[in-house]
Amino acid sequence: MLELICKRLLLAVPTLLLVSIMVFGLQKLLPGDPLLAMAGEERDPAVLAQLRADLHLDDPLPLQYYDWLTRALQGDLGVSLRTHEPVTTLIASKLPVTLELSLLAMVIALLFGISMGILAAVHKNNWIDHGANFVAISGISIPHFWLGILLILVFSVNLQWLPASGYVPFSEDALQNLRTLLLPALVLGTGLAATLMRHTRASMIAVLKADYIRTARAKGLLPRAVILKHAFRNALVPVITLTTLLFGELLGGAVLTEQVFTIPGFGKMIVDSVFNRDYAVVQGVVLVVAIGFLLLNLLADVLYILINPKMRG
């Protein structure tokens, strides 16, 4: 297992390098000038020229990238052009919010998606299977922003059970923190649960046809033991891959949900940075998301080995 981890970490280096080069080059193609947007209508050409020199924006593109990469390897991702805060500080303040939201959404997705997938596979082609598939297709088809607005109207405006927007840190009020994150987590979790349900169902159906499942049933094992101990454990391997990828998407893809519920998370910071042409923040955010994806893929490989003994050795 240690050899596998070392190989994956070595492969991550050129991947991160390629991602950083692509993002650094592509964001320079964005129209407009961030300094002109910051200066407003009353611009002093001398001040703009000094700012360009201080920020090395007039240097050749390869030199700008080399300067950024050198500082990034030392843990310095630069300073935001908009707020003049270190990018690492901004990421450290926004990332925990999205992580908390993503974890809660993933828990909801796993509870509902995997349980519905198992039930649909065990009761294949009857009303339980059809009902689970209908719910899954509905969850995939409904846009997140529409579902978010609908939940706000029902649970915040009409029933007044949960707040419509905002965020309270867990350290300030744990209960209120859960109340502010529950609706956006439900919005994100429903789509993930639908995807997980369909993959779990397909994987379970394939495993339930295997010879060792028939042997286990012939030995007189209880149906629950056959399904959960023998079938589900082997069906879980492809589901792990999907779960890690979906969680990685949540880190950078919860943009619309955070906008609807006014949550100051990672996704909202990405959108604001792109619109403000805040190059340093965009580069730092993409780098963190790429590292997150690579670590999640590494975690998936390790879980494969732990769950499936055939992959060991």
pLDDT digits (tens, 9 = 90+) for 16-46: 888 888 877 777 666 666 666 565 555 667 7
Name which residue leads in pLDDT, 103 or 269. Answer: 103
Domain ranges of the chain: 97-277
Q: Of the candidates 294, 215, 210, 211, which has an alpha carbon nearest to the alpha carbon of residue 251?
A: 294
Name the token pair of 241. Answer: 């891959």
Cβ(197)–Cβ(190) under 8 Å? no
Residues 74-90 pLDDT 10s: 888 888 877 778 888 88
Q: Which two tokens stand for residue 298?
A: 């590494």
Give the per-residue pLDDT at 312: 56
Return the pLDDT at 45: 72
Name which of 255, 282, 289, 293 is nearest 23 in CA terms.
Answer: 282
pLDDT at residue 54 in the model: 67
Q: Does 239 have pLDDT greater than 70?
A: yes
Angle between helices 2-27 and 61-73 (to 10 degrees): 140
- The CATH architecture annotation of domain 97-277 reads Orthogonal Bundle (1.10)
Predicted TM-score (pTM) of this structure: 0.79
Tell me the pLDDT of the chain averaged across its residues.
80
CA distance 274 to 186: 27
Per residue in 87-146, pLDDT (tens digit) is: 888 888 888 888 888 889 889 988 888 888 888 888 888 888 888 888 888 877 888 778
Residue 240: pLDDT band by 50, 70, 90 thresholds? confident
| Candidate from 42-56, 180-194, 288-302 with smallest mean pLDDT | 42-56
Residue with tokens 């007189």: 220
